[in-house]
Structure 1
Amino acid sequence: MANKQITEFVSQFKSIYEGEPWFGNSMQEILTDVTAETAFHKPTKHAHSLAQIVWHMVYWRQSLIKRLAGDTTYKGSMKSEDNWSTEAKLKALGWTAIRQLLHTSQQQVVELLEKQSDKLLDEAYSEKASYRELITGIIQHDLYHLGQVAYLKSISK
């Protein structure tokens, strides 16, 4: 298989999003019955809501999507106001739209990765990281926050 490593990354994205991942429920399973009320609930004043976390996941996926689509200038920033959007902006957008953005980002990641060869993985994404590190980081980031999403969902019931 010529692109064995890319194929494995695609498999991981698919498994985490809608498959049967080793760790438990997929993103789709976790989010399937989340209502807007649950999505925007904050367990404490300074905590992020489930909707904010999903938005944040989509925001960082854009670093990979935009680069794979040819925008070599795009860089996500922890200081960007879009990194952790305000509750007001997200409520105006709506929970259904946020879920759709996550779904669209999933489709884009998979489609764009499937067009790549393993050679991409060792190319520089930035001065400090390769595409392999970026892709691995996005997967790790998704998993980290998916655990938070599952927890927030469980305590909102």
Structure 2
Amino acid sequence: MNNKLKSMVKALSEVFEGEPWYGESVMRKLENVPYVIGYKTCIPESHSVSQIVGHLIAWKNFAAEKLKNNKEYSIKMDTEQDWPEIKIESQEEWEALKRELVAAQSRIYEALNEKKNDAFLSEKVPGKEYDFEYLLRGVLQHDIYHLGQIGLIESQLKNKEVDSGVFKA
């Protein structure tokens, strides 16, 4: 694995489970979200944290499939596949959803570990008009974007649920 690829893997890991400079990683943030708000939204038309996690899983699976050169794999935007309807009703379901997210991220790492050098980063993604470097940067940006949404939902619901005991002081 060459330097550019190593750097990409490091960045993916830092954003997902590490210590990024801007604050909490995806998994650190999700560790602090109580399961009882996982399916709640701030406004009726918005997505819940669990739906966002399902969305992240969908697109991580997309990236992993493309890294394995699966030309046929696709996700249609704004569908159940893109935004799955997920309702979390127990701590066990919440933990299972987070494990599914970790597994999806791991599939990306596994696919990247099979790559031997940086040259593949400039190859076109099967069935797309962009290259693998663009795809992987997109995964990073996607995580950060939705991490911000999760943080906003958490802070809004924390204010609403302050007296419920859901959030520990």
Please report the TM-score for the alignment, with normalisation by the length of structure 2. 0.83
1:98 matched to 2:78? The reply is no
Q: Where does residue 129 of structure 1 map in the other structure?
A: 130
Given that residues 75 and 81 in structure 2 are in contact (C-alpha distance below 8 angstroms), is that contact kept between their aligned partners in structure 1?
A: no
Read off the aligned partner of 2:134 and give its amino acid letter.
Answer: E
Read off the aligned partner of 2:3 and give its amino acid letter.
Answer: K
SS where residue 76 of structure 1 aligns?
coil
SS where residue 42 of structure 2 aligns?
coil
More off after superposition, 52-61 vs 93-102 = 93-102
1:60 matched to 2:72? The reply is no
Residues 92-135 of structure 1: CA distance to partner in whole angstroms, max 9, x if unpaired?
99322211111111212122212212111111113421111111
SS where residue 156 of structure 1 aligns?
helix
Question: What is the CA distance between 1:79 and its match in structure 2?
Answer: 4.2
| Structure ranking higher in helix proportion | 1
Separation (CA, whole Å) in 2 of partners of 1:91 and 1:74: 31
Given that residues 7 and 114 in structure 1 are in contact (C-alpha distance below 8 angstroms), is that contact kept between their aligned partners in structure 2?
A: no
Question: What is the CA distance between 1:76 and its match in structure 2?
Answer: 2.1
Read off the aligned partner of 2:124 and give its amino acid letter.
Answer: A
Separation (CA, whole Å) in 2 of partners of 1:107 and 1:135: 14
Please report the TM-score for the alignment, with normalisation by the length of structure 1. 0.89
> What stretches of structure 1 of length at least 5 have no aligned partner?
none
Q: Where does residue 32 of structure 1 map in the other structure?
A: 31
Given that residues 66 and 73 in structure 2 are in contact (C-alpha distance below 8 angstroms), is that contact kept between their aligned partners in structure 1?
A: yes
SS where residue 94 of structure 1 aligns?
helix
Alignment of 1:1-157 (within 5 A): 3-87=2-86, 94-116=93-115, 117-125=117-125, 126-157=127-158
> What stretches of structure 2 of length at least 5 have no aligned partner?
159-169
Question: What is the CA distance between 1:41 and its match in structure 2?
Answer: 1.0
Aligned residues: 155
Given that residues 36 and 89 in structure 2 are in contact (C-alpha distance below 8 angstroms), is that contact kept between their aligned partners in structure 1?
A: no
More off after superposition, 28-37 vs 39-48 = 28-37
Q: Percent identity at matched positions?
A: 28
